Amino acid sequence: MVDSADIPPAKIWSWRAKDHPEIPAALTKAFATTDDCKPLESGKRLLVCSSSGGCALLELPSGKALWSAKVPSAHSIEALPRERILVAASVGWDKLVLFDRNHGDKILWDTPMHSAHGLVWDDSRKRLYALGFKELRTYSLKDWESDMPSLTLDSTVPLPDDDGHDFRPVPKSADIVFSTASHVWLFDRDKGSIRSHPEWADRAHVKCIDVHPASGRVLMNQATGGNWWSDTFQLFNPAASVKLEGEILYKGRWLVEP
């Protein structure tokens, strides 16, 4: 997370699983690398997941874990209605996995999805969008008021380029912006269609794109040097960069407080 008013930035918060006894000791090593984080409730809570398998819902600023589970190769995590949590597991598990935070790490439902990487819940449309290696899926909720909820596949759209990666809603728009191995795209939720991004269509190795919901400022991380990471976030509208010496950056998200 970046404090945009502070460039060069200052670290204002950090978290380590081993510092929180509410996370089972056997799970702490599963938080070795953080590959997604999503602020909720105006920054009062934070979803985090790790490709090492750790998934958690945190209270902010205390960092207390309100829920945790292990999902191998977890690459994205999303909050759904009725305190359900969906995790996208990438290569190795290749599936979507559903939990209820009130039932711990019990899996309520899962479905195969090759290299699942991105999740977006749209509360106004009551739809879940999921990004995989070669496809973009739309799901609706099924039996959601019961103890055996699931997701129903409504549609599948093939990706124009392989290796779906980051996947984020564009505020005040029907679009979801997403990256693949060599390009950046927009998915129109109303039309169910994909088009090239007008500014960044040919940017390769984009690991994250996040649009500030109030200002529209864009945060991007583009991997460099053949790595899956960089040490610099790029900013657009207006343009700037945020270099964090010695850091291994993958994804960044705007934390918007009320």
Residue 122 falls within a domain, yes or no?
yes
pLDDT over 90 percentage in the chain: 88
Contact status, residue 10 vs residue 24, Cβ threshold 8 Å? no
Residue 6 falls within a domain, yes or no?
no
Residue 178 falls within a domain, yes or no?
no
pLDDT over 70 percentage in the chain: 97
Collect all residues with Cβ–Cβ distance below 8 Å to 170 and sequence separation of at least 6: 176, 177, 186, 211
Query: Across residues 153-174, what is the average pLDDT?
Result: 97
Please check the confidence at residue 60 and state whether its pLDDT lies above 70: yes
Give the N- to C-terminal CA distance of the chain in Å, as an integer.
Answer: 16
* Cα dihedral sign, 95-96-98-101: positive
Domain extent for 140? 20-172+184-199
pLDDT category of residue 7 using cuts at 50, 70 and 90: low
Residue 13 falls within a domain, yes or no?
no
Query: Across residues 148-164, what is the average pLDDT?
Result: 97
pLDDT the model gives residue 201: 96
Residue 37 falls within a domain, yes or no?
yes
Please check the confidence at residue 155 and state whether its pLDDT lies above 50: yes
pLDDT category of residue 258 using cuts at 50, 70 and 90: low
Please tell me the total count of domains within the chain.
Answer: 1
Q: Name which of 44, 45, 28, 47 is nearest 36 in CA terms.
A: 47
Q: Which amino acid is at 253?
A: R
CATH of the domain at 92: 2.130.10.10
Residue 238 falls within a domain, yes or no?
no
Please check the confidence at residue 108 and state whether its pLDDT lies above 60: yes
pTM metric for this prediction: 0.94
Neighbours of 55 (CB within 10 A): 25
Residue 7 falls within a domain, yes or no?
no
Residue 36 falls within a domain, yes or no?
yes
CA distance 208 to 126: 24
Please check the confidence at residue 6 and state whether its pLDDT lies above 70: no
Contact status, residue 182 vs residue 223, Cβ threshold 8 Å? no
